[in-house]
Structure 1
Amino acid sequence: MSTAAPAWTLRPATAADLEPLAELRAAAMRPDLERLGRYDGQRVRQRLRDAYRPEHTSVIDAPGLVGCLALAPDERPGTLLLEHFYLRPELHGRGLGTAVLRAALERADAAGLAVRLNVLNGSPARRLYERHGFALESEDPVDVFLHRPARPLSGKAAS
């Protein structure tokens, strides 16, 4: 069986994507939240509904809605907040998250912006972020807060 990442595109999210994304969030977060003894299906969906900003959210299509990523201006100047980055659980470990994250970080680098995020304590996603240059900022019993400084783009040598 191939473990290669499926072909994917990003499209702007719309208001109509809210409920499918709330369901996706519940499925994606369930294992980690259950491990922490904090899974509440209604609450996990409502938190996305309350924070959903389609203007900062992209839907991952591979084909069909398989995930989302929100990258919004942070309260800290020169920084973006990476939030609501979810993939269908059956796509975990196939390189899709890596490819989407890499593309998002390239956009941040092109704009000269740092990126920060939080991930559930003990989540395997933390390793993905650390492989892409995120470092520990702080943590509590539930969340780990990570930060990646702005990185200048490597220019190609002039010929």
Structure 2
Amino acid sequence: MENVDLRPAAADDDEFLYDLHRRALGEVIEATWGPWDDDVQREFHRNWFVPEAVEIVLVGGRRAGMVQAAMTDAATFYVSRIEIAPEMQGSGVGTAVLRGLLDRARASGAHVVELHVLQRNRARDLYERLGFQVVGVEPPKLRMRLVL
């Protein structure tokens, strides 16, 4: 696998991120809430995308995903979003990104890392492989935690 790096998002990543969201999670969103509604999803994206809070996942220098994660209090590091392009899923990119985030969390003094995952999202398997455990059910999501 090529090098996996992160860089800060920029305003011109906007359309890439919307397309990534559709491609990476479209099937899960449809299985959860019904047919993809472009107007609803564009509004969600407009409200969500703040470049300063997002990092772009690069594989060999090419955009391959995104992540949004930060300390939420003195002890908790929260991964609010992680999306990997479908053609890169299963290649180790998600694992590399999450391991990097776990290192960042430790360096920040976090005692736990938390995230939410849609119940129908197969990314749950990756999170469990890395040691995350389900600590709550908040339909249609699961709250997962890893104690560092």
Match of 1:146 in 2: 144
Cα distance in 1 for partners of 2:19, 2:42 equals 7
Equivalence map 1:3-42=2 (5 Å): 5-38=1-34, 39-42=36-39
Match of 1:71 in 2: 69
**How many aligned residue pairs are there?**
145
The answer on whether the counterparts of 1:11 and 1:58 sit within 8 Å (CA) in structure 2 is yes
Normalization by structure 2: what TM-score?
0.87
Cα distance in 2 for partners of 1:45, 1:28 equals 15
Cα distance in 2 for partners of 1:42, 1:60 equals 26
- 1:125 corresponds, among 112, 115, 123, to 123
Q: Structure 1: which 4+ aligned runs deviate by more than 3 Å?
A: none
Equivalence map 1:85-96=2 (5 Å): 85-96=82-93
| Percent of residue pairs identical | 32
Match of 2:50 in 1: 53
Cα deviation, 1:16-68, whole Å, max 9, x if unaligned, reads 21221111111111111222243333323432331223223211112321101
CA RMSD of aligned residues (A): 1.8
- CA gap of 1:57–1:37, structure 2 versus 1, over 3 A, is closer
Cα distance in 2 for partners of 1:10, 1:115 equals 19
The answer on whether the counterparts of 2:9 and 2:54 sit within 8 Å (CA) in structure 1 is yes
Query: For structure 1, which runs of at least 5 residues remain unmatched after alignment?
Result: 152-159
Query: For structure 2, which runs of at least 5 residues remain unmatched after alignment?
Result: none
**Which structure shows the higher strand fraction?**
2
Cα distance in 1 for partners of 2:114, 2:40 equals 24
- CA gap of 1:37–1:53, structure 2 versus 1, over 3 A, is closer
**What residue identity is the alignment partner of 1:32?**
V
Query: Which range moved further: 47-56 or 16-25?
Result: 47-56
Cα distance in 1 for partners of 2:45, 2:137 equals 22
Normalization by structure 1: what TM-score?
0.81
SS of match in other structure, 1:84: strand
- Structure 1 residue 77 displacement after superposition: 4.0
